[in-house]
Amino acid sequence: VPGYRSSSMAALRAARAARLVASGHSPREAPLDAPATMSRLARGVGRATELVMRRGAGSRVETACGQSMLDFTCGIGVTNTGHCHPRVVEAAQAQCGKLIHGQVNIGWHEPMLELIDELAPAMPHASLDSFFFTTTGAEAVENAVKLAKHATGRPNVVVFQGGYHGRTHLTMGMTSSSNVYSRGFAPFPPGLLVAPFPYELHGVGVDYCLEQLELLLRQRAAPSEVACFVLEPVLGEGGYVPAPPRFVAGLRAVCDAHGILLVLDEVQTGFGRTGKLFASERFLPEATPDVLVMAKGLASGFPLAALAASSLLTDAQPP
């Protein structure tokens, strides 16, 4: 029936406002009926707490109950400039008054072009001169894999034990930090192979991992059928374990010998989280990535992700 939904919602809002006024609350100031509302949200997202966050500033968040708390999570490595940094807020407010959605299949928009000009000179290597933007880290990882498969014409992808790459179907299959994300969603896309990651604390060294990688390329997938290696420079959920530079240099040597692309997933390590703008700077000049994936700190809370690669790779893709 035309207008039924809108009139029903209006009636519900009016009834709720009347109840709040009768109980002595202002409709604008009354607390949310959080438990009832929470029960309507899909359960597929786990939470560390039941706090309802109302506002944030710098390193602190305020809950709906008025508690001020230090946010040690930074939105899981996202708010690199803190919550509601004045310059970020000012830029967002100004842009919302000019253009909110500029569809890139229709034309260009100025913020994207300005961001490219800012990112290009900040890349760890001049070869990373072409950019693709999307909204989440998982999407950026998927597009890195698509780029590698298209550029090489090969079907297989090697990831490393303990890595986390996302929660889409492909990136769940690439993730080995825990089975909590993938449990119940198999089978995953084919062609995903897992190699060891050096973890000296548990006796897994660089030489062993490189030997096992060579063995994998003899037993599981020929090097001529591997499109890329995808590596977190520092394992995130896998234990916050930095990749030893000698290990990454070894991966680079294997890639160069067999025409495999090296993809570094810096979704969590990018934009200053390891003391340099990108963790991959620590591997230069011995191990330059072919593709660099970034998100999280890139926009400090806004849904923006990107990959950087050589234009020799990206220009080969058809529009």
Q: What is the pLDDT of residues 191-248, one digit of tens each?
A: 999 999 999 999 999 999 999 999 999 999 999 999 999 999 999 999 999 999 999 9
Q: What is the pLDDT at residue 319?
A: 84
**Within its chain, how far is the Cα of 221 from the centroid?**
28
Q: What is the pLDDT at residue 36?
A: 81
List all residues 6 or more positions away from 135 whose beta carbon is below 8 Å from its beta carbon: 303, 304, 305
174 burial via Cβ count (<10 Å: 0-12, 13-18, 19+): buried
Q: What is the pLDDT at residue 28?
A: 47
Q: What are phi and psi of 23, to 5 degrees?
A: -90, 0
Give the residue from 147, 143, 127 showing the smallest Cα distance to 135: 143
Q: How far apart are CA 89 and CA 92, in angstroms?
A: 5
Q: How far apart are CA 181 and CA 46, in angstroms?
A: 10
Average pLDDT over residues 3-17: 51
Rounded to whole angstroms, what are the CA distances from 71 to 19, 272, 277, 300? 35, 18, 22, 14
For residue 12, is pLDDT > 60?
Answer: no
Alpha-carbon Rg of the chain, whole angstroms? 23
For residue 2, is pLDDT > 50?
Answer: no
**Range name among 58-67, 214-223, 257-266 with the lowest pLDDT average:** 58-67
Helices (H), the chain: 4-22, 34-38, 74-77, 86-96, 110-119, 137-152, 169-174, 206-219, 245-258, 311-314
Give the residue from 189, 191, 160 showing the smallest Cα distance to 262: 160
Q: Where residue 31 falls among pLDDT bands split at 50, 70, 90?
A: low
**Is residue 147 within 8 Å of 130, Cβ to Cβ?**
no
72 burial via Cβ count (<10 Å: 0-12, 13-18, 19+): exposed
Q: How far apart are CA 63 and CA 55, in angstroms?
A: 7
Q: What is the pLDDT at residue 181?
A: 87
Give the residue from 126, 130, 94 showing the smallest Cα distance to 110: 94
**Within its chain, how far is the Cα of 122 from the centroid?**
19
* Helices and strands of the chain, counted as H and E runs: 10, 10
Average pLDDT over residues 76-105: 94
- Average pLDDT taken over every residue of the chain: 90
Give the residue from 244, 243, 242, 252 showing the smallest Cα distance to 287: 252
Q: What is the pLDDT of residues 100-128, one digit of tens each?
A: 999 999 999 999 999 999 999 999 999 99
Q: What is the pLDDT at residue 7?
A: 52
